[in-house]
Amino acid sequence: MSTLAVIPGDGIGPEVMAEVLKVHAVVEDAFGTGLKTEVLPYSADWFLEHGDVEIDIPAIGRTYGAVLLGALGDPRIPDNRHAIRIIGGLRQQLELSVNLRPVRLRTLAHCPLKHVRDVGDVDLVVVRENTEDVYVGVGGTVRGGRPGHVAMEVGVHTRWAVDRALEAAFELARSRPRHRLTLVDKSNAMPSAGPLWQSRFRALAASYPDVACDHLYVDAAAMELIRNPARFDVVVASNLFGDILSDEASMLAGGLGVAPSASYDPEDTSFFGVFEAVHGSAPDIAGTGRANPLASVMSYSLMLDRMGLRAAHRAVERAVDEVLRGDLLTPDLGGTARTDEVGDLICRAIARRDKDR
């Protein structure tokens, strides 16, 4: 039996996480997953109360089977140091080098592109390297605030992390019906990082003859996502480019309210990873009941799949499909439903499916 660490977070985080825990209770009743939950207090409120203290991140990886993470960010901590401490700490200290961000359109009504005529035209996964690039904090400033102000952000790319992201992307592409993988970089303007990604991509491709490979520069990929999203199956990119492209791609399926993610170490068989919605804490709507819980529920579903709990995962996915194809939607998807109403609907759909088994 595994215990899940639950970090509700800030802003709308606790509201949507409450719906995830409701869904988990129904899933546990229907499928007997044996997964217990334990809420951890880390949030802006906790950091403001306790100060800028360290968190024992490795202990989280040793103690829990996975982390369900709510959105982080609070205007009272404008530099977001607490969010960096939690999110960055989990990703980097636990070596969660693979970040999966699936994007799948469930109904045409939620796609802003008028030329998309079939939901199958938007069905892709962005595999983002999750621990390096400009996110490692290498850089600094010189002559801060003066006319000669210099700002430097250094992108770090190691062969080890690049290989881990690429191998995960190849394996994912092999498992999907289209067997297609696109490397996205900016090698024409990044003469150090670009060739590393390109050479490792070509080297690994030799071990995956069943996967069709191609390459796009990131600016071309951004355009192609709008012009012809159907060309994409699995996309692999560095931390920065993967972050940007996955946010863009999420809009093709309804926006960040339906954008889940999973971060994991492909070599760790005891800790399954961190599962979180892509969206932020949205403090402007916190407490209004307008937040969409689906991205967090879908992240929970990714966790079930990662843990091998396939029947439970399929039940949650079918419930999400049912909600997104219906009329009871939160305002970001054009509806008037409250956060808890959508959560209740998912729970009923899962329970009903279980009775039909």
Proportion of the chain above pLDDT 70, given as a percent = 98
Residue 276 has a pLDDT of 98
202 three-state secondary structure: helix
Q: Is the pLDDT of residue 52 over 70?
A: yes
Is the CB of residue 105 less than 8 Å from the CB of residue 119?
yes
Strands (DSSP E) contained in the chain are 3-7, 36-39, 66-69, 98-104, 123-129, 139-142, 150-153, 180-185, 212-217, 234-237, 260-264, 274-277
Is 327 a known active-site residue? Answer: no
**CA–CA distance, 124 with 182 (Å, rounded to integer):** 11
Q: Which of 135, 208, 264, 300 is catalytic?
A: 135
Asked if residues 197 and 159 have their Cβ atoms less than 8 Å apart, the reply is no
CA angle 26, 326, 291 (to 5 degrees): 65
Q: Is the whole-model pTM more than 0.85?
A: yes
Residue among 133, 186, 208, 233 flagged as catalytic:
186
pLDDT digits (tens, 9 = 90+) for 163-172: 999 999 999 9
219 catalytic? Reply is: yes
> Predicted confidence band at 54 (pLDDT cuts at 50, 70, 90)?
confident
Other CB atoms within a 10 A radius of the CB of residue 166 amount to: 23
The Cα 62–Cα 15 span in angstroms is 27
Q: In the CATH scheme, what is the homologous superfamily, with its name and number, of domain 108-123+135-258?
A: Isopropylmalate Dehydrogenase (3.40.718.10)
Among 214, 219, 268, 284, the one annotated catalytic = 219
CA distance 100 to 172: 10
pLDDT tens-digit profile of 70-110?
999 999 999 999 999 999 999 999 999 999 999 999 999 99
Alpha carbon distance 235, 213 (integer Å): 10
CATH topology for the 1-94+268-357 domain: Isopropylmalate Dehydrogenase (3.40.718)
The pLDDT tens digits for 267-298 are 998 999 999 999 999 999 999 999 999 999 99
- Res 356 pLDDT > 60: no
Catalytic residue among 22, 163, 217, 247: 247
Residue 305: pLDDT band (50, 70, 90) is: very high
Is 1-94+268-357's fold the same as 108-123+135-258's?
A: yes
pLDDT reading at 357 higher than 60: no
For residue 138, pLDDT over 80 is answered with yes
Q: Is the pLDDT of residue 24 over 90?
A: yes
Tell me the pLDDT band of 354, cut-offs 50, 70 and 90. Answer: low
Is 52 an active-site residue? Answer: no
247 among known catalytic residues: yes
Instruction: Please enumerate in sequence order all residues whose Cβ is within 8 A of that of 236, keeping only pairs 6 or more positions apart, or say none.
Output: 126, 127, 128, 165, 166, 169, 181, 182, 183, 184, 201, 242
Instruction: Label residue 347 by pLDDT band (50, 70, 90).
Output: very high
Domain boundaries, the chain: 1-94+268-357, 108-123+135-258
Of the residues 74, 243, 265, 332, which is catalytic?
Answer: 243
